[in-house]
Amino acid sequence: MGEPPSKKRGLSNHNMDEQKTELDRTALGPPEIQPEDIQYDPQTDVIGAGSYGTVYRGRCRGQEVAVKVPKKQTLSPQEMQTFQNEIVLMSNNSHPNIIILMGACMQQDKLQIVTEMCKTDLERLIYERRELSLFARMKLCLDAAAGVNWLHEIIQVVHRDLKPANLLIDFRGQVKVSDFGLSQLKPQEGIMQTDSPKGSLVWMAPEVVFRRPYSDKVDVYSFGIILWEVTTRERPFQHLHTHREFIEAVLCAHQRPPIPADIPESLKNLMSSCWDYDPNKRPSFREILLKLSEVMVDCLIEFPAAGAFWKKHFLYPLKKLVENVEWQDFKVCLCSELNIDEAAADSQKFFDHLQSLLLTNVEDLGQKMYVTMQRFDIVSKWFGRFYDPTVGLSIISEINKLMGQDWFHGDLPYEAANSRLGRQPDGTFLIRLSSRDPKNAPFSLSLPKDYHYRIERVEGGLALLEHTFRDIYELREAYRSTYMITPCPKLYSQAYVQAQRSADSSGRIRNSNYDSNGSFTSTEGTPRSAGGFAQAYIGPHDVGGSTGSENNSSSAESNTMS
């Protein structure tokens, strides 16, 4: 039958009384695994090795697993107690961002810890996958912070050895906090003492090195160094070569790694607050989760006003970042910001073109259409602050007007533009949106024979072929008798078709019925405008405080896509 509770917990009977208080705060651990149930080849299955021991790729009862084998296999009673405590701590962490403990072999000379198998670790990932964006790297840090927050608040455990190598990445790309060999249960008062510093010096908090009382804020200090390393993809403190140099520079002179100038201010502030010398000034991991979510918005949405809109509606209400928003939810928030009636806007199809531009497929969510943060950023750069109550209605009205032009093809890819123009005679043209540099060069002029010309934003308007125009309409008129004689036949983009079909059960593309200027009309029949148009097509481009491009030239590109 089953083993007695003391064995399941991995604790010897003579220590049960001393450990009772701590064990009351944990659940029963996993069952003990017999050594014959664990298979691996010590020569070919090595995943990694360190001062503590070696980790192997193995199998246990038909399951692929990771097997951690301590170097020291014959333990004193105190050492065995430490080993058993790690098992107890790991066994009670049922969180998606904490490694799953499957069991352990507790026999002397055959000590092994069996966990779920992961693909890699954060240290390897950030140095080997150079293409990972800052946003993607911050998302990994958010995973790690969620795991540590669970340790601190729910399990009441301090990890004490956080570093990139101890943050594993599973096969779905999710971070798993691992290696609990130095972890401790927090006492009721939250303050701990240490006789000797343990852990990895580079990520170790000053109070631990100096053997002072410490709290869970030691993990926050470590996380600050991790943030810097993940951001820069450089080894921290490489210029310090000896233990004494490190102590004098980092712990006595309070030297920290140099923060890059080209990262969001929110990330700079989070790093510096995490590694503050004073533990009381460091944030909690609950606070870090919110601040990291703000950092992620700032990484993906360039303009502060656009980022503030997203944070207000899709971060702060739930205190959790929503990266992909369904159109209906986005529209409700937009109507609230613009102070317009949603039903009236729907009846006039006021948002139809904006919807077609904002919606995009999200593969991980079953190919459904969402407003993503990245798409929101691009549309904001194309057209300005369409979400701003002071100018938003004018901008959306201008979007409607522009999308209604027979020569404007919206967000049309390069290949599709060539396809539409392929059999057309000289003098046929189309103008489309460009995603390569939407802030400084929002449009492209496309002609037959694979000719594409970038239309740039400059002070005073738009520039094409070294000529400046007040707006896109003046530009079109200027070339009416030369390059822009006949508009290319216009087809609806697939995204627009999908967007309209999602809103019209008949499956037919609906005709727009704005007023003659594409403006939103209120229920009283009076066109609503927020004043002058906010330079969506006229420079300088007023988006989130940007003054537009400083480059006053327009580039002509042959056989290239803008």
Active site residues: 161
Candidates 382, 310, 392; CA nearest to 541 is: 382
Tokens 């003098």 sit on residue = 427
Query: Amino acid identity of 312?
Result: K
CA quadruple 540, 545, 551, 554: dihedral positive or negative?
Answer: negative
For every residue of 78-112, DSSP letters joined together read HHHHHHHHHHHHHHT---TTBPPEEEEE-STT--E
**Three-class secondary structure of residue 53 per DSSP:** strand
d(C-alpha 348, C-alpha 365), whole Å: 30
- Residue 169's region, left for phi above 0, alpha for psi from -120 to 50, else beta, is beta
Sheet holding 120-121, edge to edge: 120-121, 167-169, 175-177
d(C-alpha 330, C-alpha 312), whole Å: 12
End-to-end CA distance of the chain: 71
- Whether residue 407 contacts residue 528, with contact meaning beta carbons closer than 8 Å, is answered with no
Tokens 């070919």 sit on residue = 44
- Whether residue 531 contacts residue 542, with contact meaning beta carbons closer than 8 Å, is answered with no
172: burial class by Cβ within 10 Å (0-12, 13-18, 19+)?
exposed
Nearest 5 degrees, angle CA 451-CA 454-CA 455? 130
- Whether residue 441 contacts residue 434, with contact meaning beta carbons closer than 8 Å, is answered with yes
- Whether residue 534 contacts residue 430, with contact meaning beta carbons closer than 8 Å, is answered with no
Candidates 475, 331, 444; CA nearest to 392 is: 331
- Residue 82's region, left for phi above 0, alpha for psi from -120 to 50, else beta, is alpha
Query: Amino acid identity of 161?
Result: D
Point out which residues pair with 54 in neighbouring strands: 49, 69
Query: Amino acid identity of 96?
Result: P
- Whether residue 9 contacts residue 28, with contact meaning beta carbons closer than 8 Å, is answered with yes
d(C-alpha 292, C-alpha 148), whole Å: 14
Tokens linked to 343? 């039903």
